[in-house]
Amino acid sequence: MLIDAAERAARYLDEAADRPVTPGLGAITALDGFDIDLPEGSSTAAETLAVLDALGSPATVRSNGPRYFGFVTGGSLPATGAASVLASAWDQNGALPVMSPTASQLDRVAARWIVEILGLPSSAVASFCGGASVANLTCLVAARDAVLARAGWDVPAHGLIGAPPVTVIAGAELHASMSKAIAIAGLGRDATTLVPTDDQGRMRIEEVPPVEGPTIILMQSGNVNTGASDSFARVEEWREAGAWVHVDGAFGLWAAAAPGRAAQVEGVADADSWATDAHKWLNVPYDAGVAIVADGNDLARSMRTDAAYLVTDPVGSVTQRLPMQLGLQMSQAARGVLVWAALYSLGRSGVADLVERCCSLAERFAVELVAAGAEVPHEVGLNQVLVSFGDDETTDTMIGAIAADGTIWAGGTTWQGRRCLRLSVSGWETTEADVDAAVDAILRIWDRL
Ligand SMILES: *Cc1c(COP(=O)(O)O)cnc(C)c1O
């Protein structure tokens, strides 16, 4: 059965290479075939798989392929895709070491390697989770509880009602998942102090108000539109004044792994916590995010889970690496397995090459499109490229026409008041030829309009 599945998976990847990035209407309509009454009787695994493949495969978006530039979407490296087949046969619960020595060891090693490759302090503790949204929330809760603990207030015990106020400061272009985390953590979207951003979307750090009382400062490495990172020049000063500094670095933090790009995130290691993704730029299959906290005890304080059948010693949570005591979930995929596979297969140089290659391909996009008369309203320093084709209406027409054409896929955005096509180069498979083919398609469509 698994061999049948593997053969179908391999055939899918072969065939998907020759079809448009987005599925045709026929394939999408055929999905109605799934919408039947709950079967009364059983089907064999082979029958089940055959239906899944026949109806499901043709209507997928080739988002793990070389010509998908939408959102910030990584593919899956050959080693990670293959490892996920083995890992699904293992079906290990990563919650506690006692549940799986293999999962536990790979969790430990992958966490150490992530901290190392991102240039973060070696004492920092990384905890795997479902994505950077969850990582932002995890870190923000740890930050909230830590700054209030310093003010003598125990949030896990007493809650937020009656607690001293917490000042949350963020750049005006904070990621949507960060403001969601602020709301969920009970800190209040409207209570957040938004600091103006510059013409690249970076927080104007000189305009951050003085730190007074329990304070959390939310910074960003990798603006979701431009890829620009905030400057971390004042992080030490803010921390000395008692603030907790968190960095949302879902993809931008990976600049640290490429020597030619690392200057963009200089000083980022001085922060208290970081959120990043493995399913974006590291090209690990969904889903894999990483919450990283400089002092693991802060994570253990907030994520503590008590039950008679569990180890609940907070110090042990960190020293023994008990994943369920360092994150929101109890049962969880052994995410360290696939992160390990990505880092083992690429090595330090392979990760550096991947990041560097995506950045130079983004530059290639910008140079070729600007040469053809389009406008790129920001500096291209990372893997993100915004493109305007004139007025907003023309740009929106282009975004729609590019999607309909199917050679590539990329979405639209509004950045600092302007509509733009938003290209992100995050997949391991994308080459110069793919970028050139994408530019040809875009210019052909523009010409036709
Ligand atoms: C993608 C992204 C997130 C959210 O990550 P998910 O993995 O989708 O949850 C947060 N911040 C930034 C800057 C991002 O690009």
DSSP letter, residue 419 = E
Return the closest-CA partner of residue 71 out of 437, 436, 409: 409
Radius of gyration of the chain (CA): 23
Which contacts (CB < 8 Å, 24+ apart) does range 347-351 have? 348/117, 348/257, 351/117, 351/254, 351/257, 351/258, 351/282
**Tens digits of residue pLDDT in 174-213:** 999 999 999 999 999 999 999 999 999 999 999 999 999 9
H or E element: which one contains 23? Answer: none
Predicted local confidence at residue 81, as pLDDT: 94
pLDDT of res. 311: 64
Q: Which atom number of ligand 1 is nearest to the Cα of residue 223? A: 13
β-bridge pairing 244-248 and 289-293: unpaired
List 248's β-bridge partners, or say none. 220, 275
Q: Is the CB of 139 under 6 A from ligand 1?
A: no
Residue of the CA atom closest to atom 14 of ligand 1: 250
Q: Is the CB of 224 under 6 A from ligand 1?
A: yes
Q: Which residues pair with 384 in a beta bridge?
A: 424
Pairing of strands 384-387, 411-415: unpaired
The strands making up 273-277's β-sheet, listed across from edge to edge, are: 125-129, 289-293, 273-277, 244-248, 215-220, 167-171, 193-195
**Is the shortest distance between the CB of 132 and ligand 1 below 6 Å?**
yes
CA distance 387 to 372: 12
For 42-65, write each residue's pLDDT tens digit: 999 999 999 999 999 999 999 999
CA-closest residue to ligand 1 atom 5: 132
Residue 312 confidence class, pLDDT cut points 50, 70, 90? low
Helix, strand, coil tally for the chain in percent (to 5)? 45, 15, 40
pLDDT band for 426, please (50, 70, 90 cuts): very high
- Rounded alpha-carbon distances, angstroms, from residue 275 to 83, 96, 133, 249, 352: 24, 22, 8, 6, 19
Could you tell me the distance, in angstroms and rounded to a whole number, from the CA of residue 445 to the centre of ligand 1?
30
pLDDT of 317: 87
Task: Give the separation between CA 253 and CA 174, rounded to whole angstroms.
Answer: 15
Residue located nearest, by CA, to atom 2 of ligand 1: 250
